[in-house]
Amino acid sequence: MPKLTSVLVLFALTMLNACGKPVETPVDRAVQELPRLQHQGDLDVIREHGVLRLLLERQTDSYLPRFGDALFSERQLAQRFGERLGLKVEVVYVDRFTDLLPALIAGRGDLVAANLSVTPERQSKVEFTDPIGSSQDILVFAAVTQPPTDNAALVGSVAAREGTTLLQTAYQLAEQHQALQVVSVSPNVANEALFDQLVDGEVDLLVQDSNVLATALAYRSDIRAGSVVGEPLPLAWAVRPDAKLLLAALNDYLREYRLLGEAHLRYVADVDEIRDRGRLRMITRNNAATYFLWRGQLLGFEYELAERFADELGVTLDVIVAPSHEQLLPMLEAGEGDFVAAYLVPTEDRKTQAAFSRPYHFASEVVVGRKAETPMTSVDDLNGRTIVVRRSSAYWETLRALQDRSDLEFKVVLAPSDMETQELIQAVAEGRYDLTVADSHILNIEMTWRDDITGLINLTDKHPHAWAVHPESTELLEVMNGYLTRAYRGLHYNLSYAKYFQDAHFKPEEDTELFSPGRISPYDALVRKYAEEHGFDWRLIVAQMYQESRFDPNAQSWMGAVGLMQVLPRTAKQYGFTDLADPEASVEVGLIHMNWVRDRFPNHLAADDRIWFVLAAYNAGHGHVQDARRLAKRLGLDPDQWFDNVERAMLKLSEPEYARQARHGYVRGHEPVKYVRSIRQRYLAYANLLAN
């Protein structure tokens, strides 16, 4: 498998089809899962069913796979294998890594593609494909620890997960070095949590797989690699011993994969080669305007448009995030992607670096002010005002050109170079800045999330945005232009455009009052029943329900969440629920999921602090909250307190500097912060109303 050579973030359409948001199962309650296909047949039986069942270990939450992530690469490769055979790929999750092979043998799945080392013990139970890569066991230390130059000087506790070859290596080390004590970690503990234990000093060192460590080092600066221990082990996929036809097909496919040389990162490809490779690489940025992770889903206007283009080509979409806006075109020139989709204006200077498609979007530069302001009738209304923008932005040049006019007198103040436009808009909304300037599509996105800002006047005519390809990819450009011509202002384009730029994603707050004497909602009894069952304050859950749906059982969000508690259908399905419009089903599955989220946080958190973390995770995803806790610790804040601590770190995860170092990337940090504060405020109001 390719090794980690950069900090690029690699996404793929595969993650939505094959992985999506990992299955979420409640901890304290046995849930009847929906019936699943179960058989022990070979490829002929698999073809009859039309489904290839991929066995994977359940993750604690969805995550952003990094380039070099061996597990992600294997999932992607397995997805392509299924598609090549015309099969639907169904992911079957098991609770622990140690459950993978028993589930395979029992017929719950057909294939294990999960960073699986080939060992004699495993070979006695299953059949392995030809190796697809290799891994080594490496010692891992906290960044503040200086690893010894000689393993003989190792002391303290060394940890590894049960059921892995890593634990065997740990015991071998302890036999050689008497000052080491082995800590056997439950297979239920995720690698990310294990790294956290190391950083927190709960263990002194870890034994970790080189592929897993390489991925973590792309975004974690609080750990470091030590020496290699043990010999390299081959990695392969596992099938049942009698699945000879499936094994042969897999080996043929893997040999073709290696011959195509997909491990090479840099290449310039045109349409035929892209189709042969089966992947289309899009270079973009990780933000609300292009694509991002929210509640376990990959989203974004550019992302959805590119997905459909990849579908037309019959290939998988890989999304590669550039570290900065300035590196988009250099990466394209270097062959690190096939095209750039990041709202680029095809300027004359940029045309010397790349070939541009026909426009697919248009935007103008708009002065942004607070909602209460009266729209400006002309640029003369800028007199006496102060506008804050970055010098590196196009807005700076536009404003300087206006300042050259003798009849205009306004101030232009430089914003910090790393301050994003969305942050500047937030500062204007809060009254810290007078005015700023934004592209109209960025302003439109912000206005779908908030109602405290407005566009005051357009400073420019609309300028086009286009995709960029390498100058040598002439056929790709031709095919791309044909697609964009058909797609532009078509049904899917219009629906997607409305979702990201027009439809409101927030619900205006209303004054708190009793629904009727002694009641705060139409569903008090229902909420009491399930809140008490799971140990939650029912008044808090009603406040949350109001925030989610305004007590409308038919409410549906822009992401497809449904019902009173706004649960995603795919999440509900994993708990055994389907009819989310039914109030009781929505409340029950919402509380089951809240309970599951609560159990993802450490027990040492105080109960009154833990609930705020749970609410934030329900809103934005557990992974983003964990990223914020780690960042809070780095910033000298308390990672165990939400208000005025972790919430401050959450806000920073909207900034590229911090999002690049986060496991789950960019998040609209203002949303979970506002969500939690609104629920707390309403909860206190409900408590007072009922008390009186």
**pLDDT tens digits, 516-534:** 677 889 999 999 999 999 9
Q: Give me the architecture of the 9-129+237-265 domain, per CATH.
A: 3-Layer(aba) Sandwich (3.40)
Long-range residue pairs from 30-37, CB within 8 A, at least 24 positions apart, any chain: 31/575, 31/576, 31/592, 32/576, 33/574, 33/576, 34/573, 34/576, 36/92, 36/108, 37/90
Confidence of residue 105 (pLDDT cuts 50, 70, 90): very high
Q: Is 638 helix (H, G, I), strand (E, B) or coil?
A: coil
Instruction: Write the pLDDT tens digit of every residue in 416-443.
Output: 866 778 889 989 999 999 999 999 999 9
CB 117, CB 210: distance < 8 Å: no
173: which residues sit within 8 A by CB, 6+ positions away?
A: 151, 154, 158, 180, 207, 229
Residues 6+ apart with CB under 8 A from 254: 129, 130, 132
Q: How far apart are CA 248 and CA 252, in angstroms?
A: 6
Q: Which residues touch 248 (CB under 8 Å, ≥6 apart)? A: none
Would you please indicate which residues are annotated as catalytic (active-site) residues? 548
Bridge partners, 339 (sequence order): 282, 469
Give the phi and the psi of residue 161 in degrees, each rounded to 5: -80, 145
Q: What is the pLDDT of residue 655?
A: 83
Phi, psi of 456 (to 5 degrees): -95, -40
The Cα 138–Cα 143 span in angstroms is 15
pLDDT score recorded for residue 35: 43
Q: How far is the CA of 290 from the CAs of 9, 82, 327, in angstroms? A: 14, 29, 16
Q: How many residues does the chain have?
A: 692
Q: Which class in CATH covers the domain with range 301-360+465-501?
A: alpha beta
Average pLDDT, the chain: 85
User: Does 31 or 412 have the greater pLDDT score?
Assistant: 412
Q: What is the pTM of this model?
A: 0.59
pLDDT band at 454 (very low <50, low <70, confident <90, very high): very high
The three-point CA angle 496-457-351 to 5° equals 60
Q: What is the 3-state secondary structure (H, E, C) of 446-462?
A: HHHHCCCEEEEEECCCC
Here the contacts of 194-202 (C-beta below 8 Å, separation 24 or greater) are 194/159, 194/161, 195/140, 195/220, 195/222, 195/223, 196/630, 197/159, 198/140, 198/141, 198/142, 198/159, 198/223, 199/142, 199/143, 199/223, 201/142
Binned at pLDDT 50, 70 and 90, residue 472 comes out as very high
The answer for residues whose C-beta is within 8 angstroms of residue 593's C-beta and 6 or more apart is: 24, 26, 565, 567, 571, 575, 618
How many other CB atoms are there within 10 angstroms of residue 639's CB atom? Answer: 22
What is the per-residue pLDDT for 69? Answer: 55
Based on C-alpha coordinates, what's the Rg of the chain?
A: 27
387 token code pair: 């506008």
pLDDT in tens, 334-360: 888 999 999 998 988 899 999 999 999
Architecture of domain 134-235: 3-Layer(aba) Sandwich (3.40)
Return the structure tokens found at 300: 């974004």
Q: Between 267 and 1, whose confidence is greater? A: 267
Higher-scoring residue by pLDDT: 144, 6: 144
Q: Identical fold at 301-360+465-501 and 365-460?
A: yes
Q: Which CATH architecture has domain 365-460?
A: 3-Layer(aba) Sandwich (3.40)
Rounded Cα–Cα distance for residues 320 and 271 (Å)? 19
pLDDT tens digit sequence for 136-163: 899 999 999 988 888 888 999 999 988 8
β-strand pairing of 436-439 with 365-370: antiparallel
373-413 pLDDT, tens per residue?
A: 999 999 999 999 999 998 877 788 899 999 988 788 999 99
Strands 133-142 and 205-209: antiparallel
Q: Where are the domains of the chain?
A: 9-129+237-265, 134-235, 301-360+465-501, 365-460
According to DSSP, the residues that pair with 89 across neighbouring strands are 52
Helix (H, G, I), strand (E, B) or coil at 630: helix
Among 125-139, 186-200, 586-600, the least confident range: 186-200
Q: pLDDT digits over 269-283, tens only?
A: 999 999 888 889 999
CA proximity to 302, closest of 342, 256, 246:
342
